[in-house]
Amino acid sequence: MSEQGRPGGGVYDWFRRGIAMLAQGNAGAAVQLLSHAVEEEPHSRAIREALARAQFETRAYAAALENFRAVALADPSDDYAQFGWGLAAARLGDFEASAEHLALAVAMRPSSEPYRAALRQTRATLKARRGGFGTVGGDRQRHDDVPAESPHADPHADPQGEPSDGR
């Protein structure tokens, strides 16, 4: 570290070392180096993306979202920035924004299974929050008028009491 509390070397060195630390699983140290690099080169999309990845790994989701957003706004066709924005938004509980940005990422790179899986998960969460999967207790109104099952009831009958084909 230099006198000013900055690491030795220059922006490119900080970037390379930050990427290496991130790859080695040391995201916290990567955040420190990459933050210095972003201060010096705030318009560098590569540095911001690396910083956002490191922030995401350290669970600094709001900071990661801001950096993924900056990259995506600078280049709306950057599918990875859209993906990161969507993931960070989901971690922050904003599933509407998450679905929007994950859908953009999937549209740009439909072959990416991680993108598609994240979008499916976000959409399922939205559907569940809207009650799209029903309630835990079942539909009380529908079942309140159905008598309790007798020991002689057909085990293959549907909830309305109609016999089924046994499947």
Q: For 22-60, b where at least 16 C-beta lie within 10 A, e where not — what string?
A: beeebbebbbbbbbbbbeebeebbebbbbbbbbbbbeeb
The predicted model scores a pTM of 0.75
List of residues 6+ apart from 48 with CB closer than 8 A:
38, 42, 67, 70, 71
- Mind listing the pLDDT tens digit of every residue in the chain (167 residues)? 444 677 888 999 999 999 999 999 999 999 999 999 999 999 999 999 999 999 999 999 999 999 999 999 999 999 999 999 999 999 999 999 999 999 999 999 999 999 999 999 999 999 999 887 665 555 544 444 444 444 444 444 444 444 444 43
Q: In the chain, what are the domain boundaries?
A: 7-58, 62-130
48 near 40, Cβ under 8 Å? no
CATH architecture of the domain covering 62-130: Alpha Horseshoe (1.25)
